Structure 1
């Protein structure tokens, strides 16, 4: 029950970004989530949480220790190597010291239904929503609302990047990268930066409350290894989308990598976190 098979993400890249992801995720969404989940905490076995497209399990490691009560996590991904990483490194205790257990499961988000989510307390995902199509976002919203299961969907790309110091070419590469995020991949038209808006509309159309918070990466010299890797992928995707950028891309990337190596480059990559809850959200004012 994860995204249809797409680009394979190397464990090294996911490891590299884990600390930045943890710092970026919006803690403001945890209070309404805890309030809603508190009404489920007394159920036999505690909370059941499904992590879609779990990768190496970064979301589980971040969230499990921030939620009280016993938890059983089901980690979904199409990549068996990533699932192995995720399953081995989940926390064993929750915020209040109660047990956390986990199992891994391969599957396809395209087949996710409300029946699949029966007994699930929460669906969560990180850096997944923007890799989906409109139909897949609608199907996810239908499955969650049909099962009465909240969704915490973190770190969806927002389509805005800021590099410091700025260059005139920054905007051109950013626009090309955003077009790449919206590309048609093996017959699937990806939403990219439009995914959050589509998800908000999908859940609200079904009568749910949706809360959104900004969750940007703010990277400096301490994250030079991540900036280096991100820059190569960002410029590479922009170039792949617009081959006419080739002459500028080589020199631009070289300049930016030199700035990164010298500790002189700052990067803000904007994301959005989304929490969808049955309306009205329990305990909200």
Structure 2
């Protein structure tokens, strides 16, 4: 996954509160119920005798956070699941990893301890054998960066390991701005095309990722739950809205250079409205929970 975009700690920090407000809170409840009923991943009992893998946490949960960034998913989810929990934080950026390890501290929903360790490297190399003993795979704002092949490999690995997956804040390609402008739809379409464009030998799914992931997990027997998780940005989130606007319009112009002149004027108007507290935006995302077959009829 060598072409994965880089994300700065500043951007991830700026968006954390909006991410937390947007994620669907019903999916962790479904997940927690399943984990309480089936705490051991399928196939765990068939592991050969010998020392436990290094990533086991006794009778607690082992959670792998893919593309963890600064650890915002762990800070949001750990307190919604019973512990103890051991978070395995995957990211290529050592600066982000160090912040994440320091920031994912719990406690769990029942007050029990939460620990975190860094797992540097390419998260797309995660296969079923790496998931042995893993209770949950999770990620935030990641799926739209992956290719169909990478999403399929993730679904295969989770199915083989009997491991649930909670994948949140996947962009859907829908944006609503109030007040609306005629150029909104054209900018949005260009941005969505930019999300899907081929980079080297990679063809990210972009706004098609949520549907693609749902299909991939369902093909491998998972029980798939999908929920909307939109950012709802108003005057209180003006700093985030402004930074998001710059990136959104900039990607659209990169995809369609002919939009450069009208997009520059458009961005000036939008930023002025944002500064004045007169702009509201809904940026649509989707959360997905894939639960492996129970195998017990319950």
Instruction: Give the structure-1-normalised TM-score.
Output: 0.96
1:37 to 26, 35, 38: 35
Gaps in structure 2 of 5+ consecutive residues = 41-56
Verify: 1:145 aligned to 2:145, yes or no: no
Give 1:231-270 correspondences, 5 Å limit. Answer: 231-270=245-284
For residues 216 and 253 of structure 1, what CA distance do their matches in structure 2 show?
22
The residue that corresponds to 2:48 in the other structure is none
Deviation at 1:159, TM superposition (A): 0.6
The TM-score normalised by the length of structure 2 is 0.91
Give, in angstroms, the shift of residue 39 of structure 1.
Answer: 2.9
Q: Which moved more, 1:3-12 or 1:267-276?
A: 3-12
Pairwise CA distance, 1:44:
2.1
Answer whether contact 1:29 1:275 (CA < 8 A) is retained. yes
Structure 1 residues 281 and 196, CA, compared in 2 at 3 Å: closer, same or farther? farther
Quote how far apart the aligned CAs of 1:31 are.
Answer: 1.8
Alpha-carbon shift at residue 283 of structure 1 (Å): 9.2
Q: Distance in 1 between matches of 2:108 and 2:8?
A: 28
Q: CA RMSD in A?
A: 1.6
Q: Assess if the C-alpha contact under 8 Å between 2:91 and 2:123 holds in 1.
A: no
**Distance in 1 between residues matched to 2:109 and 2:29, nearest whole Å:** 14
Separation in 1 of the partners of 2:296 and 2:20?
A: 26
CA distance in 2, matches of 1:211, 1:160: 20
Unaligned segments of structure 1, at least 5 residues: none
| Corresponding residue number in structure 2 for 1:198 | 212
Q: CA deviation at 1:280?
A: 4.9
What is the match of residue 47 of structure 2? Answer: none
Residue correspondences, number: 282
Change (3 A) 1:50 1:206: same
User: In structure 1, what is the Cα distance between the partners aligned to 2:233 and 2:129?
Assistant: 41
Cα offset, 1:120, TM superposition = 0.1
Is residue 19 from structure 1 mapped to residue 33 from structure 2 by the alignment? no
Partner Cα distance (1:243, 1:217) in 2: 28
Quick one: distance in 2 between partners of 1:89 and 1:148? 28
Offset at 1:93? 1.5
**2:178 maps to 1:180:** no
Superposition deviation, residue 91 in structure 1:
2.1
